[in-house]
């Protein structure tokens, strides 16, 4: 899939570089595979266990992301630097993809480092044709891509050694960064790099079978662990270009609000403040940009601005009214998503009727949004360089180009490490980077040329960012006398996440946003579920939040399974096993979690077991929890997790992702973990009134991985959806009352 062609966007990308041009652009000191040609050709997908025949009668034109050129640098001392085509913001792809390439390269891991790639044609996702990080797809989508890159580079090094020694390349082998011959010849990759650079890139390569892996599947500390553990890792917010000025924007108190008038006299008296001017913002809003020598003078000045605001939408959003409107929609048929036979509903011996509600949630990454922007040159050759930890390089490059009035080829996005994101750094309209470009355009118009560093405070983002949407569900389930589900009618009310964004052509079908019912639609449970949805317009900006629709659909499905079990006098484990009888991955995951947890054994008085299993992003996760109730709130003592993500490239990263997902998902159950809106204004502002899970809330966690040799699936998000329903099911067991909303509020007795 090619994103630009799909949307009819002209990128202005130039024709592919010739090999002669490529070599001239490369450095002479080592094998620098760092300049990528441009191509629209889709990459060839290769099955993980099916090696490609090395000899072909007809040469195959390689897609850009199949060439080592843009991804690998081998220095003369043997040091290997691998470019990673994704944002690293805690999920571990910076290490995982480097490890995959290093495996096929047969590199010495102790000499491997990785760096994040800039925006570029070569770095687009090989399946979707855009450069992005999301959907737990980094390892999954680029696994074969990085294997091929490593294998091609390895073959080039072998061919260089063969020419040097006058031997047949097929008689040579590699090990830990060296090529060796049958007569005892040996040469390091660093020695061969220059010569290898002159040779053709192989059209096809043979990939290792799983049985020969030395790195993939073996746990290893991440490449960024030491720097992050010692405070030495630089993130986007730490970047300081020479002569940089810091920008803070006074943003409207209501979504889409505008500046009616402002007085900056007192603000401009603050030492270190250069200017304050009005600037257009995301969603048709406007604000006042304050430019200063640093964050503190900019904040001090911003606090002294006197601004008269015009409200945004009419009517102004209000949480209570939004809920009332959604409740009304639950009574009305929506857009069809999935059909099923409902004729047996009237014959049901027992009926379960349940309404669920889920609040707005903020993303609150530890590193707030930021972007540094600089302009190099003037006139038609002006180059714009943006430094930011972004999830959507392709969209951002196009948007910055649009704002600055230059071709996309004159915009460089330099990806920085980011301190979390959870979807917030992936907006279709590129709000943060677009704001930085608007500020820079105004700055240039004033005759100034210094780089600008746009920063958001946490309060800026909590009060005026994007949110996991308020969502409601209604389920009506008819049961037979023996507890069989005869019919299940299900309705979801949720604003669309992608209507009106560049992703709409990919995610909206027949008016339905596929994320609203994902996890219920196509559920692995053998149940007759009829689904329809409503997508009311939201005056509160909404965005995907870690695991997207699964954040609420897993809760609904898994708590209802427990409720069905109780209403039909069945064991919740036995019911799940029966409904998943023909789903081997789900059964293997469930079985492993049950065995490792000791589920069903005696717990301390006042404790109960809770269980949930859910598949998302092609992985399956089961959580078993030990929960008690203290001071009318659930306390989680232990979580035992089982993960089926096929081949675990780095088991340590898999464990870390599940642990982090558990903590984040647990946080959604805590009182105060919701965003509320009144009179168009978000009522929360920071961690003192928007509750997230903290260290005392963290239970003991054990993570177990189901063994597999199949190509890897996602792990960044799937661990989150099942934890809240597992906790809710334990609460249900303790109180006898089903939990129908988040956060979990337990009535005092």
Q: What is the mean pLDDT of the chain?
A: 91
The mean pLDDT value for 245-269 works out to 97
35 pLDDT higher than 60: no
In terms of phi and psi (left: phi > 0; alpha: psi -120 to 50; beta: otherwise), the region of 18 is: beta
pLDDT digits (tens, 9 = 90+) for 165-180: 999 999 999 999 999 9
- Distance CA(666)–CA(661), nearest Å, equals 8
pLDDT digits (tens, 9 = 90+) for 363-389: 999 999 999 999 999 888 899 999 999
Report the pLDDT value the prediction gives residue 60, as an integer from 0 to 100: 59
30 pLDDT higher than 60: no
Token output for 608: 């109960």
Burial of 180 (0-12, 13-18, 19+ CB in 10 A): middle
Cα separations (Å) of 136 from 4, 115, 142?
22, 20, 11
460 pLDDT higher than 80: yes
- Distance CA(78)–CA(75), nearest Å, equals 5
- Dihedrals phi, psi of 384, to nearest 5 degrees: -110, 125
Report the pLDDT value the prediction gives residue 48, as an integer from 0 to 100: 34
Half-sphere exposure of 482 (CA within 13 A, CB side): 0
Report the pLDDT value the prediction gives residue 686, as an integer from 0 to 100: 97
Q: Name residue, tokens 């890897």.
A: 712
746 pLDDT higher than 50: yes
Lowest-pLDDT range of 3-12, 471-480, 485-494, 663-672: 3-12
- Distance CA(281)–CA(464), nearest Å, equals 11
19 pLDDT higher than 70: no
Query: Is residue 729 within 8 Å of 710, Cβ to Cβ?
Result: no
14 pLDDT higher than 90: no
- Dihedrals phi, psi of 681, to nearest 5 degrees: -115, 135
Report the pLDDT value the prediction gives residue 749, as an integer from 0 to 100: 67
- Distance CA(676)–CA(682), nearest Å, equals 6
Token output for 587: 């059964």
Query: Is residue 128 within 8 Å of 176, Cβ to Cβ?
Result: no
Among 435, 398, 431, smallest CA distance to 413 is for 398
Percent of the chain with pLDDT over 70: 92
Query: Structural domains in the chain?
Result: 3-229 (3.30.365.10), 236-313+369-455 (3.30.365.10), 319-361+466-735 (3.30.365.10)
104 pLDDT higher than 50: yes
pLDDT interval class at 17 (50, 70, 90): very low
The mean pLDDT value for 18-26 works out to 31
pLDDT digits (tens, 9 = 90+) for 554-576: 999 999 999 999 999 999 999 99
pLDDT digits (tens, 9 = 90+) for 589-644: 999 999 999 999 999 999 999 999 999 999 999 999 999 999 999 999 999 999 99
């Amino acid at each position: 899939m090619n994103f630009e062609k799909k949307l009819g966007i002209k990128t202005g990308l130039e024709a592919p570089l010739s090999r002669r041009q490529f070599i001239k652009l490369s450095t002479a000191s080592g094998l620098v595979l760092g300049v990528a040609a441009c191509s629209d050709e889709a990459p060839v997908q290769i099955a993980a266990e099916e090696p490609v025949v090395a000899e072909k009668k007809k040469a195959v034109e390689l897609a850009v992301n199949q060439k080592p050129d843009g991804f690998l640098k081998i220095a003369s001392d043997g040091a290997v630097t691998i470019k990673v085509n994704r944002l690293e913001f805690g999920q571990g792809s910076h290490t995982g993809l480097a490890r995959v390439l290093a495996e096929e390269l047969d590199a010495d891991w102790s000499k491997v480092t990785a760096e994040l790639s800039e925006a570029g044609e070569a770095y687009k996702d090989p399946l979707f044709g855009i450069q992005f990080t999301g959907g737990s797809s980094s390892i999954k989508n680029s696994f074969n891509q990085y294997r091929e890159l490593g294998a091609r580079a390895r073959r080039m090094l072998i061919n260089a050694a063969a020419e040097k020694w006058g031997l047949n390349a097929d008689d040579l082998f590699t090990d830990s960064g060296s090529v060796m011959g049958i007569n005892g010849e040996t040469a390091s990759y660093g020695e061969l790099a220059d010569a290898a650079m002159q040779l053709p890139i192989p059209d096809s390569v043979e990939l290792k079978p799983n049985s020969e892996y030395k790195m993939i599947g073996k746990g290893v500390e991440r490449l960024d662990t030491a720097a992050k553990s010692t405070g030495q890792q630089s993130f986007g917010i730490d970047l300081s270009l020479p002569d940089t000025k810091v920008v803070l924007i006074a943003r409207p108190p209501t979504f889409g609000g505008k500046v009616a008038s402002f007085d900056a006299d007192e603000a401009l008296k603050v030492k270190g403040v250069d200017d304050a001017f009005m600037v257009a913002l995301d969603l048709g809003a406007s604000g006042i940009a304050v430019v200063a020598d640093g964050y503190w003078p900019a904040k001090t000045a911003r606090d002294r601005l006197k601004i008269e605001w015009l409200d945004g939408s009419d009517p102004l959003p209000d949480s209570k009214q939004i809920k009332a409107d959604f409740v009304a929609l639950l009574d009305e048929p929506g857009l069809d998503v999935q059909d099923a036979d409902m004729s047996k509903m009237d014959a049901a011996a027992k009926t379960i009727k349940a309404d669920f509600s889920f609040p707005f949630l903020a993303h609150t990454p530890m590193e707030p949004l930021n972007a540094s922007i600089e302009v190099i040159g003037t006139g038609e050759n002006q180059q714009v360089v943006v430094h930011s930890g972004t999830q959507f390089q392709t969209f951002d490059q196009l948007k910055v180009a649009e704002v600055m009035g230059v071709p996309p080829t004159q915009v460089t996005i330099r990806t920085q490490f980011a301190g979390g994101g959870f979807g917030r750094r992936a907006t279709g309209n590129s709000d943060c980077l677009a704001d930085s470009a608007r500020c820079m355009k105004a700055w240039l118009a004033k005759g100034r040329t210094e780089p600008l560093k746009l920063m958001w405070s946490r309060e800026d983002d909590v009060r005026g960012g994007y949110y996991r949407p308020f969502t409601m569900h209604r389920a009506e389930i008819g049961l037979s006398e023996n507890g069989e589900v005869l019919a299940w009618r299900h309705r979801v009310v949720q604003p669309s996440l992608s209507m009106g964004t560049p992703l709409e052509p990919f995610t909206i079908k027949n008016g339905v946003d596929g994320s609203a019912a994902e996890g219920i639609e196509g559920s692995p449970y053998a149940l007759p579920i009829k689904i329809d949805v409503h997508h009311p317009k939201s005056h509160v900006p909404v965005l995907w939040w870690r695991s997207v629709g699964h954040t609420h659909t897993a809760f609904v499905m898994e708590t209802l399974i427990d409720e069905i079990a109780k209403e039909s006098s069945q064991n919740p484990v036995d019911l799940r096993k029966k409904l998943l009888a023909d789903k081997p991955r789900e059964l293997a995951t469930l079985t492993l979690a049950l065995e490792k947890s000791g589920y069903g054994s005696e717990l301390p008085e006042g404790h109960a077991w809770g269980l949930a299993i859910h598949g998302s992003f092609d992985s399956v996760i089961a959580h078993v929890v030990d929960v008690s109730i203290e001071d009318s709130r659930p306390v989680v003592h232990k979580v035992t997790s089982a993960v089926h993500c096929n081949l675990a490239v780095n088991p340590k990263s898999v464990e870390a992702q599940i642990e982090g997902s558990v903590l984040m998902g647990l946080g959604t159950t805590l009182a105060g973990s919701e965003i509320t809106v009144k009179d168009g204004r978000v009522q929360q502002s920071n961690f003192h009134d928007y509750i997230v899970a903290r260290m005392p809330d963290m239970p003991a966690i054990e993570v177990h991985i189901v063994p597999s040799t199949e190509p890897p699936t996602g792990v960044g998000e799937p661990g989150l959806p099942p934890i809240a329903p597992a906790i809710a099911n334990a609460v249900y067991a303790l109180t006898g009352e089903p939990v129908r909303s988040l956060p979990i509020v337990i009535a005092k007795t």
